[in-house]
Amino acid sequence: LNTDAEGRLILCDALTYVERFKPAAVIDVATLTGACIIALGHVNSGLYARSDALADQLLGAGRKAMDTAWRLPLDDDYQDQLKSNFADMANIGGRPAGSVTAACFLARYTEKYDWAHLDIAG
């Protein structure tokens, strides 16, 4: 486990709490990693979503507001980076794909509703 990734721990608590309200969708906006800046610079935010419909709505809204995002993957191959020998899962996946693995960590707490994560670090 890594104590430097505390923001995602607090956010996953909120994502778990919100389940009791049975939301149609939840969109979190955070600056969890500097890795998104490495991937996208200061031009686009990183967008993660399992739902194509929700992702399309957010991308469209971003274009209209001139605050664009780029959709990034939540593939199972990235989830493997969160395996841990000490806990149920690690809260950080290491240096490669840091923004992706942060979103993968959050995604594990959002199975019961549509969810999107905007990494606005850039």
Amino acid at 89: M
Q: Round the average pLDDT of the chain to a whole number and report it.
A: 88
Q: Look up the pTM and report it.
A: 0.88
The string of pLDDT tens digits covering residues 65-110 is 999 999 999 988 887 776 767 877 767 677 777 888 889 889 999 9
Q: Is residue 1 part of a domain?
A: no
The DSSP bridge pattern shows strands 45-49 and 25-30 to be: unpaired
Range of the domain at 25: 6-119
> Is 100 a domain residue?
yes
Query: 20 in a domain, yes or no?
Result: yes
- Measured distance CA(6)–CA(11) in Å, rounded: 9
User: What was the pLDDT predicted at 29?
Assistant: 96
Domain-located, residue 35: yes
Q: Are 106 and 28 in contact (CB under 8 A)?
A: yes
Mean pLDDT across 19-34: 94
42 falls within a domain? yes
Count up the domains in the chain and report the number.
1
Task: Pick the range with the lowest mean pLDDT from 15-29, 31-45, 58-72.
Answer: 31-45
Residue 68 belongs to domain with CATH number: 3.40.630.10
What pLDDT, on a 0 to 100 scale, did the predictor assign at position 2? 58
